[in-house]
Amino acid sequence: MRLTDLLHPHLDAVTTVVDATGGGLSLEPYLHLPPGVALRDDDERPIADTELALLSYGPDAELHGSEDACRAVLARMRPGARGLIVFGHGGSELPYHRLLDHLVAHRCQVLRAAPLDYVHLHAGAVIARTDELLPPHDFFGRPVPSDGHATALRIADEYVFADLASRSMRARLLDLETAAEEAERIREASGQDGLADRLAAAVREKEQLAAALRGARDRVDVLQARVAMLEGSTSLRVGKALVTAARSPKRGASRLPGELYGLWRGRRRAAVRVADGGPKPQAEPEAPVDDRFHLAHRALTAAPRDRLVVAGVLTPATAEDFAADVAVNRLLPHDGRLLVQRTDPDVLVVQLSACTGEGPWWLTGTGLAPDLDRTLAELLAETRALGRSAVLWRDGPASAAPGLARLAWDAVVDADTGVRLGRLDAAAQGRERLREVFRADSTRVRLSRLARLTGAPDPLDERRVAVLAAPRGRTDIARLVGQVLGQLHRPAEVVVPDPAGLDELTAAGVTVRRGPPLAPWVADWTDLTEDRPDTLLLDLLCAQEYSGADAVGHTPTADDYLFVPSLRPLLMRRSLHMSGTEPGSWAGQGHRLFAVRGKEPS
């Protein structure tokens, strides 16, 4: 919620807003006060019934102010005066109990409290100095009509139920924290990391010994071929005959001429056979054939990575869906380890469906294919030796492959692999279904979770949008801030000639800057008089991710989810915007243009 949404419903009969925040916090850019309501600094005068005081309280006293300063302002409020307290504490860490006694002592009632969507302000509460119990307000800031006794009953009942819900949530949080600590203690005690390191070292030693053994066998084969060649040579046979005759001169000398004559006749017959086209004498054998795998090119990145690189035991459909957003290498049992070594992936993903369905990894983890289980264990050891993460994507029941749970995983994802928007039928599914899938169930969202687990580039960065605007005056600034913060898919940056007056955007986490846009997508909002629904950027990005187009926009004929030759661009690639070409020439240059309807049918 924005500060204006919390403040403006309570400005009836208020003529002056008194800034009593102190510290280094300035709330003026957040207020956007309507005409007739003035803003002045606090001069420590009493707060009258036509005034509203701005107070702040948070963990950083220099920025948010201290508890004592907040209490001093409460003491100066007169009956009928109102106040707005902003908190720098998170919702679960809000120390409201420290202010509760002061509020009661100074007859101040909390009319409404809500979370705030800012980086350094997390909650706010509207209070009123009153001598009688006032009716509370609903979510939209409207008072709930009731008399004093019914109001007291309502507040008391709501407090009890809210306390019940909060206590159960706190108990659940404590249970989860205890379970996480116990799991970490068990993991450290079991020494899985040390076991994995030892296994990786053993595998490396095994590979070194196997390589040495293969080299020795190759050398033995060459030596055996050379020995066979030497044993069949005439020189060696003549030498052996002479040595034999020398050892036994009486017997050997009489046999020596016959043996030499036989060698001469055999050598002559071999020469005649070669001349007549007969079989040639056996030559020295060739070097042994290289038994290493030579991989066809699949997918790798040689430059600094801006995309997640996945090596995976995946089904064909999952690999195809993942490849739309990340670099994917699908591993096979015979080349998996070599592919992991050559491509250095960010993460190894093993999909349970790929081990239980048809494919090269079928029966892995079931105990019926021990060779595949051993191959997968070696893959995990190789991944850990490279310092990368191994993730089990459990998109099916764990009982289908119980052996997978016994392996040492860095993380386990219990979810399906999501839906690629391009596989949906936009006409049949409807706009609301596309939005739902885009925000929560798309393949890109699932991959973003995987990227966060591994510290790799986030695929959701491809959804960042830069808004181009040029506000003139306070009215344009207020309109720009309202349109940007009202978007269901909020822009990542706003590019303006002058960032003055846009502090609220910065506080809400939106980058405000000069110069060229840096986000992958650009939306031109130069005309701030145009009404833009809160679903505008969400629908445009849904259409882009569905189609893979380079520009998305409206057409005069209200075409919807169609590729068109021309349109009025509302969202375009940054490269297309920076090219400076006219939109009318985009289709002729090969860019894909996709049309969405401006307004949904009533």
Place of tokens 């893959």: 379
Q: How far is CA 560 from CA 338, 552, 601, in A?
A: 47, 11, 11
CA distance from start to end of the chain:
28
CATH number of 459-595: 3.90.550.10
Count Cβ neighbours within 10 Å for each residue of 193-210 and write b for 16 or more, e otherwise.
eeebeebbeebeeeeeee
Residue range 194-216: mean pLDDT, rounded = 72
| CA distance linking residue 21 with residue 85, whole number of Å | 9
Mean pLDDT, the chain, rounded, equals 85
Q: What tokens were used for 134?
A: 């006032």
| CA distance linking residue 65 with residue 237, whole number of Å | 106
459-595 shares the fold of 3-145: no
Q: How wide is the angle at C-alpha 40 spanned by C-alphas 38 and 46, nearest 5°?
A: 110
Question: In this structure, are residues 112 and 146 in contact, taking their beta carbons and an 8 Å threshold?
Answer: no
Cα 46 from chain centroid? Answer: 52
DSSP state of 526: -
| CA distance linking residue 186 with residue 341, whole number of Å | 31
* H or E stretch covering 109: strand 108-115
Half-sphere exposure of 163 (CA within 13 A, CB side): 6
E strand map for 525-563: 551-554, 562-563
Residue range 80-91: mean pLDDT, rounded = 88
- CATH number belonging to the domain at 309-454, selected among 3.10.50, 3.40.50, 3.30.1490, 1.20.5: 3.40.50
What is the DSSP secondary-structure string of 409-468? Answer: -SEEE-S---B-GGGS-HHHH-HHHHHHIIIIIBHHHHHHHHHHHHTPPPGGGGG-EEEE
pLDDT band (50, 70, 90) for residue 140:
low
Q: pTM of whole model > 0.85?
A: no
| CA distance linking residue 162 with residue 433, whole number of Å | 33
> Which of these ranges, 228-237, 344-353, 427-436, has the smallest mean pLDDT?
228-237
| CA distance linking residue 591 with residue 583, whole number of Å | 10
Q: Over the stretch 21-54, which tens digit does the pLDDT of each residue have?
A: 876 788 898 999 999 999 999 988 999 999 999 9
Residue range 176-185: mean pLDDT, rounded = 80
Domain boundaries along the sequence of the chain: 3-145, 309-454, 459-595
Q: What tokens were used for 232?
A: 């069949």
pLDDT band (50, 70, 90) for residue 284:
very low
| CA distance linking residue 563 with residue 146, whole number of Å | 57
Check whether 251 has a pLDDT greater than 90: no
Q: Which residues, 6+ apart, have CB-to-CB distance to 575 below 8 Å?
A: none
Q: Is 549 helix (H, G, I), strand (E, B) or coil?
A: coil
Beta bridge partners of 461: none
Q: Is 407 helix (H, G, I), strand (E, B) or coil?
A: coil
What is the DSSP secondary-structure string of 135-159? Answer: PPB-TTS-B----HHHHHHHHHHHH
Length of the chain: 602
Residue range 451-478: mean pLDDT, rounded = 93
Q: Is 5 helix (H, G, I), strand (E, B) or coil?
A: helix
| CA distance linking residue 353 with residue 129, whole number of Å | 63
E strand map for 485-530: 493-495, 511-513, 521-524
| CA distance linking residue 95 with residue 85, whole number of Å | 13
CATH architecture of 3-145: 3-Layer(aba) Sandwich (3.40)
Q: Are strands 551-554 and 568-573 parallel, antiparallel or unpaired?
A: antiparallel
Question: How many helices (H) and strands (E) in the chain?
Answer: 20, 19
> Which of these ranges, 421-425, 540-544, 549-553, has the smallest mean pLDDT?
421-425
pLDDT band (50, 70, 90) for residue 216:
confident
Sheet holding 562-563, edge to edge: 511-513, 493-495, 465-468, 521-524, 568-573, 551-554, 593-595, 562-563
pLDDT of residue 495: 97
Q: Are strands 411-413 and 389-393 parallel, antiparallel or unpaired?
A: parallel
Residue range 345-363: mean pLDDT, rounded = 93
Q: Over the stretch 290-314, which tens digit does the pLDDT of each residue have?
A: 444 445 555 655 556 788 999 999 9
Question: In this structure, are residues 235 and 263 in contact, taking their beta carbons and an 8 Å threshold?
Answer: no
Question: In this structure, are residues 504 and 487 in contact, taking their beta carbons and an 8 Å threshold?
Answer: no
Q: Are strands 568-573 and 521-524 parallel, antiparallel or unpaired?
A: antiparallel
